Structure 1
Amino acid sequence: MTEEAKRTHPAGPSRLWRKYCRSGFLRGIPLPEWMKSMSKKKGLWNLFKNGGFFILLLLVTFYFIFRSQDMGSVLRTVTEVNPIYIGIAIGCMCLFICCEAINIERTLTLYRCDTSFAKCVKYALTGFFFSSITPMASGGQPAQMYYMYRDHLEISYSALAIMMELASFQFITVMMAIFGYMVNFSFFNEMGYHIQYILLAGVLLNTVILGLILMAFFSKTILEKCINGLFALLKLFRVKKIEEIRIKVQYQIDLYRRGAAAFQKNKGTVAKILLTTLVQITAFHSIPFWIYRAFGYEEYSFMTVLLIQAVLYITVSAIPLPGSVGASESGFILIFRTLFPAQVIQSAMLLSRGISFYLFLCISGIFLLVIHALYRGKTRECTQPMKIRKIH
């Protein structure tokens, strides 16, 4: 790591950070192994493997949901809804993508990275696609870093930008879900203990994840004790490659700490990121409401439907399935059957998931095919470390 990089990197170099720099991981020389695999046959094989599993899961899900239904009747119901509200729902998904792009651009600007809103839309669509076809959305962030790397952005800065966007997203989704669970407690309580326990487990699991993220930002001592306790437990169960896992975990924690150090000097930027994320999540969770209105129903308010969806989303996101396929569809029918009549609930689910997931999965997939065609034959040049500047 150069003296210039040491001076300009947020919070200064740590032992772990220097280790990654010596390995070439953070300087862009050479290309990290996991990024190499994305541009070779192994990466294509992983993509086809995840995509194949996703399609199989999708077929099984729709078979069990619609096996006793008249698909002709379901499709006719879908075509009879109010197109204005369908347009609003699609607009909400566009806003969802744009808000993520705004946050990525805003964060990269802190590091004087040469980027633009159009490029950040590309990163947002990339994250959406790869998060959708990998378990627990594990492929989204690495894919975003890969495309940032190809756009001549330093990995250290792109990683920090993605981690900050992810932390903001996790914070808003968890807070909204907790609030939604409290406000609609009687609604969920009427569904029975089994469903209530599942919903509560999803909220608690994501709350724990948020707690770990916040500790990474603000409490080094407590977090290290938690991590040491966790790895001591893993040793008892004789889990393999514990040290390798520890290095990866410590690296992620190091990223969060450096992000915290940078953003403590730019609290106004943090506020803007959180506000943008709030708009983003509100737009995303409002889609079931616009579907509800598209069918002509008015009994339940915007806020009620929004907060119910917030709880459902965070519950199914805890299930390690690509795009939460199966869990989201079944959960929608289970939770929203009180709002939608039985004769239209499948159609409502089809529209809601079709707009919030499948439509933009197709759009982002086609977009990536075009991007790959444009990138074909191009090589990535190395970049030099960039200074951080304070923005107001």
Structure 2
Amino acid sequence: MNSNSSTIKKILINGVVFFIVLGLTIYVVFRHISIGEIVTSIRLVKFRYILGGLLAMAVFATGEGLNIGRPLNAFGDDISVFQAVKYAIVGFFFSSVTPSSSGGQPMQLYFMHGDGVPVSHGTLALLFELMSFEIIATIYAVTGYVAQRRLLVETMGRGRFILLIGILVSVLIVIFLFMAIFSKRAISVICAFGVGIVRRFSKEKADVLEVKADLMIQEYRSSAVYFKENKGLLVKSLVTTAIQLIAMFSVPYFVYMGFGLDSYSAFQIISLQSILYVVVAFLPLPGAVGVSEGAFIIAFRLMYPKKLLGPAMVLTRCLNFYICVIITGIAVCCFMYRLMKKKDK
């Protein structure tokens, strides 16, 4: 019970941080851009493209739900599509309001437990989803960086090497996941090395880290057997992830078309968005608020006339983040109410 209270307290604190950062972002954005200008510009956007962007995010959420529900059903848990999408919605909201998306998976497990899903099943299903997501997101980012290097030179100059560092981190995470699942010796050596470094500074923290590392290794090793026996399930998850990420990364292209622009292709815009997503995803800010807006302004500045760049950024972020946070937040309140009511009964 104390653990749950502590988790909820952390989420509330992170929520406050989220809104503070959001407020600062709004201040910085609107300090240089007139609200009237933005409203006037957005009115020029055809509604069907705005609707297209929202539908793209719906595809994204549905795809994540399918990737969570598929392994749970394979484990024998009777999970409906609605329940699976509910877990995706919960994950999106709490990942958006906590640094480095740290609150998403714990809250997904909490709601799964409320539906009678064993924690071990939920953990493995989320591992399936995480692995698929990291692999496809990294492939898109690497492909985008290689294919759009000339465009990146024009828009970011030497700043593009910062993007390369972010992509490299993503590649290392994918390698770590593979080793954790498929190589017992490699992950043991890496964890022992990490614990050894921490021990030089604090024996107490090193002991805690060692216990956590042992638990993680055991968890991944038990997962390895299932991964090897269900390769078809992993392939389906990868295909679904490929579709859902294309949908999410296409939101800036819907906005671009909505303003009646056509100088750049869908591939160029989706490639840039895939790179930006991977780079800002691991920053310790709730929803990468502020950084995402600034990165958009820099990366897409050649694609828009100066007077449309600000409105395009605001509309894009509203479609792929802010509106989604509001909608999923309302949905989470409804889910929480139903869960509390169920527990009371």
Partner deviation per Cα, 1:305-363 (whole Å, 9 max, x = no partner):
11111111111112110000011011011101111111111111111110111111111
CA distance, structure 2, for counterparts of residue 279 and residue 177 of structure 1: 15
- SS class of match (1:136): helix
Asked if 1:224 is matched to 2:181, the reply is no
Which residue matches 1:196?
A: 160
Distance 1:193 1:304, change over 3 A: closer
Asked if 1:368 is matched to 2:332, the reply is yes
Which residue matches 1:63?
A: 27
Which residue matches 2:290?
A: 326
Which residue matches 1:19?
A: none
Which residue matches 2:17?
A: 53
User: Does the CA contact (< 8 Å) of 1:152 and 1:380 recur in 2?
Assistant: no
Larger helix fraction of residues: 2
Offset at 1:194?
Answer: 4.1
Residue among 306, 311, 315 paired with 1:342: 306
Distance 1:354 1:192, change over 3 A: closer
Which has the higher Rg, Structure 1 or Structure 2?
1
Question: Aligned AA for 2:183?
Answer: S
4+ aligned runs moved over 3 Å, structure 1: 42-45, 191-194
Q: How does 1:175-324 map onto structure 2 within 5 Å?
A: 175-238=139-202, 240-324=204-288
CA distance, structure 1, for counterparts of residue 233 and residue 124 of structure 2: 14
| TM-score (norm: length of structure 2) | 0.95
Which residue matches 1:389?
A: none
Offset at 1:172?
Answer: 0.6
Offset at 1:68?
Answer: 1.8
User: Does the CA contact (< 8 Å) of 2:187 and 2:217 recur in 1?
Assistant: no
Distance 1:210 1:375, change over 3 A: same
Distance 1:353 1:252, change over 3 A: farther
Structure 1: gaps spanning 5 or more residues: 1-30, 382-392
- SS class of match (1:89): helix
User: Does the CA contact (< 8 Å) of 1:150 and 1:380 recur in 2?
Assistant: no
Q: How does 1:102-181 map onto structure 2 within 5 Å?
A: 102-181=66-145
Distance 1:254 1:189, change over 3 A: farther
- SS class of match (1:241): helix
Question: Aligned AA for 2:251?
Answer: I
User: Does the CA contact (< 8 Å) of 2:98 and 2:286 recur in 1?
Assistant: yes
User: Does the CA contact (< 8 Å) of 2:181 and 2:224 recur in 1?
Assistant: yes
Offset at 1:193?
Answer: 4.8
Distance 1:233 1:68, change over 3 A: same
Offset at 1:192?
Answer: 4.7
Distance 1:164 1:253, change over 3 A: farther
